[in-house]
Structure 1
């Protein structure tokens, strides 16, 4: 008698094509090596020429290091405490602050105005752009020597004023009340071309369609500038402000060549000038290092605050 064989139903096989397959991650070692081969040179240069000097300077600032008067002793924060009761350093801080404010504001305002005037096509405007940018590529020492001769008490500027009837022309570099503003004006003169070029680049990026639409809506030149052009120049303002701020705060060469910190007692001496004078002329390297660390801290903090504010303004606009 034949018997029926009953087989249990087999479960349906899963369709393997529908099962997501996990991608194999590439080995991490080749990726690290790829990054290191391209990034290592730049990182090494940064560590050797930026971070190492900063750390060494900070280490010296905690000592009384004087290369010609050993031994070197650890003094902790004594140098920093003395700084903020040192009239010379406080005066230099005030001088640097005034100089920085002038150099940040004046080239930005004048540079924007000149850029608006030169934002046209033609060989004349191209030539004027070259004229305004030429001082930027000159050495600051050369510029300082030229202006020192021009602004001397018996120099061409005062001779011209006497020819126009001014009996007692100002002592541009010999009067303690004027000398700082004369130095700041020279720095502004050289940096003006940089601001002009950056603003010109920003103006050329303003879409003509927006200006035409605003003009059709009845907006005048000032209204078009305030509502269309100025908001789109926010990145240019950020670049110019940060560059001028850093450049002005570390001003040394102009002061050294033009006034040597005078006239009088430190009327034009900046922090950078005092750092080198204290460290190289007086050989108090530990105290000078403390000045340099404080200057670096101030520049880093102020630059960060200004940069964050201007970037936030770019986003809001």
Structure 2
């Protein structure tokens, strides 16, 4: 009768510890994790803690903060009409990013996602605005919108219209800002969609065509459902990016005219840093940080949790 081999005995605690210590992954972890933690603590955790501390002081940034004011900075912020306008403008950017920028990026991605030399050229053209520095983009568009010398002036002269200064108009300045934001960042989302569309199996598309599906039906019932994870990630980037818009607005309008084009970040910069009200700016930063974290957690639970997988 053949003997049944016994199962190998379990490794002892000493042997398992030795295997872990001699593992290359553990060595890499020991070498790389401490520097990363130190840098993260110095440049992220420590500034956040300091901002939370400074938010309770009337402090100009020089010396040690001594003038404790409690929640006064938060009360002034909540009662400031410009802050209300900045919140509403930030919400507008979120809505424009979700309802205009992302659909535009998806539409263009569906047109040029196939690998051809012509499509590669169009991808480069559409992606160039994203590569361009935000400050440079703002300066370029400030010239475009100039009522005397820019493209707007040329169009006005062609149709015999009076010079119109969009960036100086309270009703149109932020519309111009949102236009630049859509132009600047839609290429980023377009590239995300192109990468996802190129991963859709061709067999499914061909099968749908054989079954008589029209191009719109293929997009709606085959391609979009399969790239849904990419759309979810793109929407997350759009929302978080909208909460951080700063570099484009400063060279365009600097928050004007009459503080009508501020976002939360430009409001922090203008009424906190430039006026040496570091305590007040820290209070705004705390609110912005809490908002961003709350949005990220809510979005992850609502759209990116395991139960939401397509």
TM-score computed with the length of structure 2 as normaliser: 0.88
Name the SS for the 2:248 alignment partner: helix
2:196 aligned residue (195, 199, 202): 202
Distance in 1, Cα, partners of 2:229 & 2:302: 12
2:111 aligned residue (103, 114, 117): 117
Q: Which stretch shows the higher mean deviation, 68-77 or 300-309?
A: 68-77
Partner of 1:24: 12
Distance in 2, Cα, partners of 1:208 & 1:106: 28
Q: Which stretch shows the higher mean deviation, 156-165 or 229-238?
A: 156-165
Shift of the 16–48 alpha-carbon distance from structure 1 to 2, 3 Å rule, reads farther
8 Å CA contact 1:107–1:188 kept in 2: the answer is yes
Partner of 1:280: 273
TM superposition shift of 1:142: 0.7
8 Å CA contact 2:54–2:65 kept in 1: the answer is no
Gaps of 5+ in 1: 1-14
2:123 aligned residue (119, 129, 132): 129
Gaps of 5+ in 2: none
RMSD: 2.5
Name the SS for the 1:72 alignment partner: coil
TM superposition shift of 1:95: 1.6
Distance in 2, Cα, partners of 1:215 & 1:83: 58
1:190 aligned residue (154, 170, 184): 184
Partner of 1:10: none
Distance in 1, Cα, partners of 2:79 & 2:273: 22
- Residue 260 of structure 2 is aligned to residue 267 of structure 1: yes
Partner of 1:171: 165
Name the SS for the 1:252 alignment partner: coil
- Residue 282 of structure 2 is aligned to residue 292 of structure 1: no
TM superposition shift of 1:171: 2.9
- Residue 141 of structure 2 is aligned to residue 147 of structure 1: yes
Distance in 2, Cα, partners of 1:191 & 1:16: 66
8 Å CA contact 2:246–2:265 kept in 1: the answer is yes
8 Å CA contact 1:235–1:314 kept in 2: the answer is no
Partner of 1:3: none
Tell me the alpha carbon deviations over residues 255-312 of structure 1, each in whole angstroms, 9 at most, x when there is no partner: 2111111112x10011111212223221111111000110111122123222333325
Distance in 2, Cα, partners of 1:69 & 1:90: 31
Tell me the alpha carbon deviations over residues 226-262 of structure 1, each in whole angstroms, 9 at most, x when there is no partner: 1110011112212221222222211112221111111
8 Å CA contact 1:252–1:273 kept in 2: the answer is yes
TM superposition shift of 1:68: 5.0
Name the SS for the 1:194 alignment partner: helix
Distance in 1, Cα, partners of 2:28 & 2:219: 48
8 Å CA contact 1:234–1:314 kept in 2: the answer is no
Number of aligned positions between the proteins: 302
8 Å CA contact 1:242–1:306 kept in 2: the answer is yes
Distance in 1, Cα, partners of 2:35 & 2:46: 15
TM-score computed with the length of structure 1 as normaliser: 0.87
Segments ≥4 residues shifted beyond 4 Å: 15-20, 31-34, 68-71
8 Å CA contact 1:234–1:313 kept in 2: the answer is no
Q: Which stretch shows the higher mean deviation, 80-89 or 155-164?
A: 155-164
Distance in 2, Cα, partners of 1:257 & 1:113: 30
Name the SS for the 1:212 alignment partner: helix
- Residue 83 of structure 2 is aligned to residue 93 of structure 1: no
Distance in 2, Cα, partners of 1:275 & 1:19: 66
- Residue 33 of structure 2 is aligned to residue 43 of structure 1: no
